[in-house]
Amino acid sequence: MTTLLDSLRRSTTVVADTGDFESMRALKPTDATTNPSLILKAVQQDAYRPLLEQVLHDHGNLSLEARTDRLLVKFGRAILDIVPGRVSTEVDARLSFDTRATVERARRLIALYHAVGIERERVLIKIAATWEGIQAARILEAEGIRCNMTLIFSLGQAAACADVGAQLISPFVGRIYDWHKKAAGSQWDEQTHGGPQDPGVQSVTRIYQYYKQHGFTTEVMGASFRNAGQILALAGCDLLTISPDLLTQLASVTGNVEPRLRAGGAYPVQARVGVDEISFRSQLNEDAMATEKLAEGIRAFVADARKLDTLLQDRA
């Protein structure tokens, strides 16, 4: 019998949101995404510590930044030995407001991948969707370096990413849901806000429809899921990046998944969104949820990047 996961694969590219190689082997995603938090979690496990030790042995004389990049690429290369598609490797979140530094770091990561035999077509450089990060993507995409714009919480961010030709965006379903649930407090009704009515699902749906209506080729990859219902409500989205726990849950249940999103669907008309700097910053400022979750997400990734620094320094 067909499982929900197998059925989902018919309309959506399934991506593993993990740094766990064994989960990828078992669940067979097409692509995989990583971030500082996932890499930090992985290198503290016995199974992955040899990767850290090898980087320190081979590159212990390099700067901390260079050692970190080599660790990220080592994980990325190992992941690409498992998945047939692409891996997303994140630029240090501390560079989220520095266009030039983001571009330089991305170029260095791509060069390191090339040095170990991985062509750029299999790598997505993951960048926070700040104004500065989006401008970095404009430069990188023009050079043939593909970008995954992360920490997307608003249509304004998504529109600006499409305008610069970003390969892919990652709108964060679960974190949008978290914000609205917290804001509602005791008034929150889980049943009323489930499935297609989930605020995170609605945000991704709106972005997907906007892209398809206006002919943007940037891929939409829903991310940061809290439950399987959110995933199933976005069936048909270009890609969905899903944690091992939820992938396992979907793989354990039989059934068919009907696509909710279709590239040629008839959707409500949405006006073009302004994508100049003033429009971008004004729209973001007006959206309390997007402003707060973007800042919170960057802070969290920065905190884990610093912890990874400490780990690399202590073991040097």
What is the mean predicted confidence (pLDDT) over 34-61?
Answer: 87
If you average pLDDT over residues 176-197, what whole number do you get? 95
Q: How many residues does the chain have?
A: 316
Indicate the angle between helix axes 277-286 and 131-142, nearest 10 degrees. Answer: 140
> Taking 80 as the threshold, does the pLDDT of residue 212 lie above it?
yes
263-279: buried (b, 16+ CB within 10 Å) or exposed (e) per residue? eeeeeeeeeebebeeee
Active-site residue numbers?
126
What are the pLDDT digits (tens) for 88-146? 999 999 999 999 999 999 999 999 999 999 999 999 999 999 999 999 999 999 999 99
Torsion of CA 264, 146, 157, 193, to 10 degrees: 60
> What pLDDT does 316 receive?
63
Instruction: Write the CB contacts of 253 (distance below 8 Å, at least 6 apart in sequence).
Output: 3, 4
Distance CA(235)–CA(67), nearest Å, equals 39
Query: CATH no. for residue 41?
Result: 3.20.20.70
Cα angle 185, 190, 192 (rounded to 5 degrees) comes to: 110
Pairing assessment for the beta strands 168-171 and 219-222 based on DSSP bridges:
parallel
Mean pLDDT over 20-48 rounds to 89
- Decide if pLDDT at 276 tops 70: yes
Could you tell me how far CA 72 lies from the centroid of its own chain? 15
- Provide the β-strand partners of residue 242: 16
Instruction: Choose among 90, 108, 121: nearest CA to 17.
Output: 90
Percentage of the chain beyond pLDDT 90 is 85
CA neighbor of 29 nearest in space, from 40, 38, 18, 37 = 18
Q: What residue numbers bound the domain in which 268 lies?
A: 4-314
pLDDT of residue 233: 97
The number of domains in the chain is 1
pLDDT at 208 over 90: yes
The answer to whether the CB of 35 falls within 8 A of the CB of 281 is: no
Burial 224-239 (b: 16+ CB within 10 A, else e): bbbbbebbbbbbbbbb
* 228 Cβ contact partners less than 8 Å away, ≥ 6 residues apart: 4, 246, 249, 250
